[in-house]
Structure 1
Amino acid sequence: FPTLNLLQSDQSTLTVEQWNHLSNLSHCYDEHSGISSAVHYMEEQNNLPIKFRFKCEPLKKFISGLMDRAQLLYKNNQDFLSLIDDDRSILLHNTIKHVRGLSSHFIYRQIQLINNPVCFQSLELIFGQKTIATAKRVDDLINFDAIIMKLLLAILAFSTTDYTVYSNINQNNLKNIKKVLHFQHVYIDLAWRYLLYKYNHRQAVICFSNVLRCLLMLHNTIVLAYEVQQYTDVINPLFNRPNKYFI
């Protein structure tokens, strides 16, 4: 996956500091998201005889490992690390489901996982037809620029929205909400400025609308997936160690 040279821009409203911020964010994702191991996994599977490809248990292990690595996107974000421990813990718990889901779907699209018919059948066996059909729609909606995707993950990581997947864990209030909101503004501003650099105003609005549609569909997928026992079997162990990368 070629890395976009973000610093070669003379026709944008982004400052050099903002381009550097984007570049660091992009490299962080490329290094820590697990995309390289996902490419390797697909190569391994495609080299096997068809009847041995994408067996359910190894596939579940691959998906679990990919989702687990999403925490590294938090750990290696210096803005996130600048928050106090309690606020990091609250944000991680509240946003990890959607960051994991979106990052994983982006990688699925890159490696054409869901579009592989053999893999698709195994995914249906694991998560159910309804969940995978919705997941396929998310996959189809992730058709925007990779840098926008990486910015979106950062925006989600600082999100204070209370999503409608409930847990039995008491919710705590952020202690330094102003700092969290500051980083929200930083990344949303970066995203909009990058959109205007990449597209004209009309195209930027369309892309932003598509991003929102993708997020809504992702949330629908997560809600459906939580109704499937095998999905919770994959996810629950990850939630039992939500801060392992911060120890």
Structure 2
Amino acid sequence: MAFSEDTSTNIGTYDVVQAFKNSQLCKVCESENARMNFSVLCCPPCKVFFRRNAQMDLNTNQCIYDGHCDVTVKSRQICRYCRFKKCLSVGMQRELIRASHGPQNRLRVNNKQLATKISSINISRNRIIFSLGVIPTLNLLRNDRSLLTVEQWSLLSNVVNVYDAKSPVANVRNILSIQSSFPPKIRLKIAATNMMDIIGSQFVAVYSFVEAIPEFAAMPPSGQATLMERNILNTGGYSGVVIFREAGVCSSEVFQNGFLSKYGSQLTNEVTKVIGRTPMDLTLLKLLIPIVMFSTCSDVVFPVIKNVDRDNITREETGFLPNTKHLLKIQNIYVEIMFKYMIYRYGYDEATMRFAGIIKHFLDQSMCSKHANEVQAHAEMVETIVIESERLLISKDRIDQ
């Protein structure tokens, strides 16, 4: 009994001490040595950051990571937008920033005056030229780019921007909105049809997205058609994870009634769990899509051997794709970008865990895609999209010739 009482006392003392330490942390980045600044406990770096960025307009500035950056001691320099937004969310007040009267601070002018009236300022004997306009966020991070090169940053941004441009999320939201406007009986009748339209749009969007990737566009039409047929099942399925998450499909009546009626309760539960475990950083998922598309053996466990003749497209399908070395080289480009991006955002240890988590998440989704393809309506829909994609590829090639 004495031992039990001592243990309880020790635990209670530790909790109190830990709670006291936590109360002294910076409310923005959770670093130590926090002091009360602008009505909030914050560390000196966050105090300086808030003062320097007090004139930032969150309506005109944007976050390159969808506005969901984690602000910690290690990552606080990554995104200026999210850090300043958190400063405001924890209660830091611009009104408490007092104008200083020192000889150097007299030269400080707010950003609007700098952008409209001043092109250069003399400070003592040196003349510093300030270029006007908004400075891109990436230019502020030259020392924080980790292993990513400028070309890799550009490729990463292009992949995300192209995916967002081709994504059917807006159309999916419109389908869900129209569905909710009908009476209950009609909603129940059209739920399955709307659900199949949503799923079909995610596979069609994959074709639009992939054809904009330079490495895919440089391939011959036969290679493009082969990749589409072999990898669209998993690529379209994983793209659907992003679309379902962004459009809120799983919480809709269309999914709860339409998906259930088409695919059954077991697959409905599996899909719901996979969507619920989707990583918050959707940039990683968007990077994974070209990695899967350039895979040489996504269905190697179930190899398909058949002769295909569709509109002058004749080839033999086997368990492996031709020119595998070239495809692996392309795939490695995006794998390298993904892992460097994760190191850049989360550090090496957490990046390793996140990378493993994404692979596990993809494998879980792949099983959902496999089970979905066992439903005849689903398999026929995917096959129709593949055939139409092949026709488009061949017709474009003939036009180019």
Q: TM-score, normalised by structure 2?
A: 0.56
Q: Partner of 1:111 in structure 2?
A: 247
Does the alignment pair 1:187 with 2:246? no
Mark the CA change 1:212 to 1:77 in structure 2 (over 3 Å): closer, same or farther: same
Structure 2: 5+ residue stretches without partners: 1-60, 66-136, 307-315, 396-401
Q: Partner of 1:91 in structure 2?
A: 227
Does the alignment pair 1:61 with 2:197? yes
Moved more, 168-177 or 235-244: 168-177
Alpha-carbon distance in structure 2 between the residues aligned to 1:205 and 1:100: 25
Shift of 1:104: 1.3
Choose from 6, 12, 16 the match for 2:150.
16
Shift of 1:171: 2.2
Give the counterpart letter for 1:199 in structure 2.
Y
Aligned residues: 246
Mark the CA change 1:33 to 1:135 in structure 2 (over 3 Å): closer, same or farther: same
CA RMSD of aligned residues (A): 2.3
Shift of 1:39: 2.5
Higher percent of residues as helix: 1
2:287–2:338 CA contact under 8 A, matched in 1: yes
Shift of 1:90: 1.9
Moved over 6 A (4+): none
1:93–1:242 CA contact under 8 A, matched in 2: no
2:231–2:293 CA contact under 8 A, matched in 1: yes
Alpha-carbon distance in structure 2 between the residues aligned to 1:162 and 1:58: 29
Higher percent of residues as strand: 2
Give the counterpart letter for 1:231 in structure 2.
H
Q: TM-score, normalised by structure 1?
A: 0.88
Does the alignment pair 1:206 with 2:342? no
Shift of 1:219: 1.4
Alpha-carbon distance in structure 2 between the residues aligned to 1:238 and 1:85: 16
2:167–2:205 CA contact under 8 A, matched in 1: yes
Q: Partner of 2:64 in structure 1?
A: 5
Structure 1: 5+ residue stretches without partners: none
Secondary structure at the aligned position of 2:388 is classed as: coil
Alpha-carbon distance in structure 2 between the residues aligned to 1:243 and 1:227: 23
Moved more, 224-233 or 186-195: 224-233
Moved more, 56-65 or 205-214: 56-65
Q: If you compute each CA radius of gyration, which structure gives the higher value, 1 or 2?
A: 2
Mark the CA change 1:202 to 1:46 in structure 2 (over 3 Å): closer, same or farther: farther
Shift of 1:168: 5.5
Percent sequence identity is 21
Choose from 246, 270, 278 the match for 1:142.
278
Does the alignment pair 1:171 with 2:317? yes
Q: Partner of 2:387 in structure 1?
A: 240
Mark the CA change 1:185 to 1:4 in structure 2 (over 3 Å): closer, same or farther: farther
1:71–1:245 CA contact under 8 A, matched in 2: no
